[in-house]
Amino acid sequence: MINVTLKDGSVKSYEAGISVIDVAKDLSEGLARNACCGIINGDVADLRDEIKSDCELEICTFDSPEGKRAFRHTASHILAQAVKRLYPEAKLAIGPSTEDGFYYDFDDVVFNPEDFEKIEKEMKKIVKENLSIERFVLPRDEAIKLMEEKNEPYKVELINDLPEDEVISFYQMGEFVDLCAGPHLMSTKYCKAIKIMSVAGAYWRGSEKNKMLSRLYATAFTKASDLEAYINMLEEAKKRDHRKLGKELGLFCILDEGPGFPFFLPKGMVLKNTLLEYWRKIHNEAGYVEIQTPMMLNRQLWERSGHWDHYKENMYTTKIDDVDFAVKPMNCPGGMLVYMQEPHSYRDLPIRAGEIGLVHRHEKSGALHGLMRVRCFSQDDAHIFMTPEQIKDEIKGVVKLIDEVYTLFGFDYHIELSTRPEDSMGSDEDWERATEGLKGALDELGRDYVINEGDGAFYGPKIDFHLEDSLGRTWQCGTIQLDMQLPERFELEYTDSDGSKKRPVMIHRVVFGSVERFIGILTEHFAGHFPTWLAPVQVKVLPISDKYADYAVKVEKELKANGVRVETDHRAEKIGYKIREARNERVPYILVVGEKEAEENTVSVRCKGEDLGSFKLEEFVKDLTEEIENKTKRW
């Protein structure tokens, strides 16, 4: 007998060799119907895998990330089977799951969007056939022979590249067989909601030296209603696309003369500067000082920091006076030099040094995406230098600061703790102490978090904040990285209470992350309807005709005198047209003024398409300035 410890901590005893799916059946028929894969002692397992010794087991459904991947991986095989039925000459490449769905690459076939309906119809037929999905393994020579018989050269290449001791497994459903490590569902019948989203070209193995293949992107859900909701979300996301809104609202542009290097236009600069004014205010209140470090520093510095060895492929380099220089991809090495400019005592610590630093990183052209992925961006960095005893309190302070910011914008978020990667610097003891410091702070705050094994920075573990926007999409923005390596490399010191020299511990942290990317996220989150305090133009004054232009100017001057960003539309257009134009510009408040308003010193107020009625000018200005000052919403 073996003991299986379940996710809830309970222990069940079974005969050795029981499969994951049979454990699920023993627990609940409903669980077995919804099971997509398992996790045995932290490793993802196929439902068919046998459990031969004591272990910890989690049964994963579609609600879990691992379950979604297994479900959609099965859907990718259904897609490939449908294509092979319709286009027998097609050659199979690879078909992994992705964050939002899956794709499959094919050769010797070309797809058009008009083909999607026909392929989807065949996929539905395969699902309805309820084909059992069977796993089998073969020795290398037999595996190659099988794929050669089926005329699948890409599969043969993949087998030849596998390590000698690798188990070579296949999955079969009906007449279709595919080389695959799994995991998969037990049958095709569960993938009832599948949709092909797009077609694109993709180089085999991502190399432009190889042949261009045809890639079908698709997604799959357990229910048609969830698929429909996802498609509706994508349609809404298109309307909110920050690239589209950025152009319409005059915020930013990216030109052919500088791919990946955004130009901020006047209204975009108002938005960006307002965001940074808020950043400076809350950091000043939290005890930070602000610094600025050079954009370009010599190779010796980057070698000392470790970036030259670990990050050089992402850095822009040049020579000045025959010396290698690099444009900074990160602000931290410059922050080290600032700390070193004067001696420090334990009484000086913690030192919280913030920097809005412009950094440059080489990104491939295919990865560039509006403000979300650029080649230069402003990073709202801060480096906190502290004693080991101050670690938990400082991390807790940063967590509270990040929470304040995200709450202001209405973001929900979750926290991930990323541990030591394979490519890292430092001793086991340093990494253990750093990781425990982060865990301890989150535990003391009572914050939930998940462990992201092996995804830390090369110099230390980190806490990442993944915020959720109004469409339910997640974005990784804030991060806290505990670093015991750079202080060592730069030989940073402080004098302790006993007069001895000690090495400080350092935190790297950002709140927005990339300021440009955060603006892109905010643009899509609010669909361009920024909160009043942040909006580039907060009020638009619309005189009904030229007769009331003088009163409109009076209203504008009164608002400007109170620090409100206001514009007046003096064009000789009908008032209905002006209102529509102002609404399209996402201006929070539209003030219509005519004879009645001029006589009574009032304004007719509209907000988000709703007519709020008439307000005394003085009353409106008072309420508006309070809303802006307190960063609240009134309507």
Write the pLDDT tens digit of every residue in 130-153. 999 999 999 999 999 999 999 999
Q: What is the pLDDT of residue 571?
A: 94
Q: Which helix (H) or strand (E) holds 178?
A: strand 176-179
Q: What is the pLDDT of residue 635?
A: 65
Q: What is the pLDDT of residue 311?
A: 87
pLDDT digit string, tens, across residues 508-552:
999 999 999 999 999 999 999 999 999 999 999 999 999 999 999
DSSP string covering 503-525, please? PPEEEEEEEEEEHHHHHHHHHHH
Share of the chain above pLDDT 90, in %: 88
Least confident of 172-181, 420-429, 568-577: 420-429
- 584 pLDDT tier (thresholds 50, 70, 90): very high
| Signed CA dihedral, 254, 257, 261, 264: sign only | negative
Whole-prediction pTM: 0.83
Q: Answer whether 119's CB lies under 8 Å from 79's CB.
A: yes
Q: How many CA atoms within 13 Å lie on the side-chain side of 83? A: 30
- What distance in Å separates the CA atoms of residue 6 and residue 1, rounded to the nearest whole number? 16
Neighbours of 300 (CB within 10 A): 12
- What distance in Å separates the CA atoms of residue 509 and residue 481, rounded to the nearest whole number? 6
User: Between these two residues, 431 and 585, which has the higher pLDDT value?
Assistant: 585
- 306 pLDDT tier (thresholds 50, 70, 90): confident
- What distance in Å separates the CA atoms of residue 45 and residue 259, rounded to the nearest whole number? 43
> Which residues are known to be catalytic?
332, 361, 379, 381, 383, 462, 508
Torsion of CA 135, 141, 144, 149, to 10 degrees: -100
Chain length of the chain: 635
Q: Is residue 318 classed as helix, strand or coil in its secondary structure?
A: strand
- 321 pLDDT tier (thresholds 50, 70, 90): very high
pLDDT digit string, tens, across residues 556-567:
999 999 999 999
Domains, the chain, in order of start with CATH, read 2-61 (3.10.20.30), 68-227 (3.30.980.10), 252-294+329-525 (3.30.930.10), 539-630 (3.40.50.800)
Instruction: Name the DSSP letter for residue 187.
Output: B
Instruction: Name the DSSP letter for residue 208.
Output: T
Q: How many CA atoms within 13 Å lie on the side-chain side of 99? A: 3
